[in-house]
Amino acid sequence: MENGVGFLLWGTAQTAGTCYTQFPVRMRVVTKKEDFRLNSKRSWIKIPMEQLAVHNDNGEQSGKIVVDKARSEQRSDGLRGRSIQSLKTRMKDKTHNQKASGATKLSGQVGLLKILSLLDCEDNHVRHRAVEVVASLAAKEENKDKIVQLGGLCSILKLLESSEEEERTCRVAAGAVASLATKESNQELIIAQGGVGLLSRTADDAQDSETLRMVACAIANLCKNGNLQLKLGEQGAIRALLRMAKSRHPDVLAEVARGFANFAECESQGVARGVKTGRSLLIDDGALPWIVANANSDSSSVRSHIELALFRLAQHEVHAQDLITGGALRELVRIYLECHCETIRTLARRSFTTFQTELFRRETSAVAFKI
Q: What is the DSSP letter of 122?
A: S
Cα–Cα distances (Å) from 361 to 185, 279, 358, in that order, read 45, 19, 5
Q: What is the DSSP letter of 236?
A: T
Residue 357 predicted with pLDDT over 90:
no
CB distance 226 to 263 below 8 Å: no
CB distance 56 to 62 below 8 Å: yes
Three-class DSSP category at 32: coil
CB distance 216 to 256 below 8 Å: yes
Q: What is the average per-residue pLDDT within 72-80?
A: 45
Q: Where are the domains of the chain?
A: 6-79, 94-180
Element (H, E) at 20: strand 20-28
Calculate the CA dihedral of residues 235, 239, 241, 244 and round it to 10 degrees. -120
Cα–Cα distances (Å) from 28 to 4, 110, 140, 261, in that order, read 6, 41, 43, 57
pLDDT tens profile 168-199:
999 999 999 999 999 999 999 999 999 999 99
DSSP string, 40-73: SSEE-----GGG--BB-TTS-B-SS----HHHHH
pLDDT tens profile 244-290:
999 989 999 999 999 999 999 999 999 888 888 889 999 999 999 99
Calculate the CA dihedral of residues 194, 198, 203, 206 and round it to 10 degrees. -170
pLDDT tens profile 278-323:
899 999 999 999 999 999 999 999 999 999 999 899 888 888 889 9
Q: Of 63-72, 134-143, 194-203, 225-234, where does mean pLDDT reach its minimum?
A: 63-72
> For position 189, what pLDDT does the model report?
95
Of 169, 168, 179, nearest to 220 by C-alpha is 179
Q: What is the average per-residue pLDDT within 2-28?
A: 43
Three-class DSSP category at 169: helix
- Please give the biggest Cα pair distance in the chain: 103
Q: In angstroms, how far is CA 29 from the centroid of its own chain? A: 41
Percent of the chain with pLDDT over 70: 66
Sequence-ordered list of residues with C-beta below 8 angstroms from that of 119, at least 6 positions apart, any chain: 127, 130, 131, 134, 152, 155, 156, 158, 159
Residue 111 predicted with pLDDT over 60:
yes
Residue 61 predicted with pLDDT over 70:
no
Q: What is the DSSP letter of 18?
A: T
Q: Where are the alpha helices (DSSP H) in the chain?
A: 69-77, 81-110, 112-117, 124-138, 141-149, 152-161, 167-180, 184-192, 195-205, 209-222, 229-234, 237-244, 250-273, 281-284, 288-293, 300-313, 320-325, 328-338, 342-370
Sequence-ordered list of residues with C-beta below 8 angstroms from that of 2, at least 6 positions apart, any chain: none
Of 237, 214, 239, nearest to 225 by C-alpha is 237
Q: What is the pTM of this model?
A: 0.69
Task: Give dist(CA 129, CA 110) in Å, integer.
Answer: 14
| C-alpha R_g of the chain | 27
DSSP string, 290-310: HHHHTTT-S-HHHHHHHHHHH
Of 162, 157, 163, nearest to 134 by C-alpha is 157
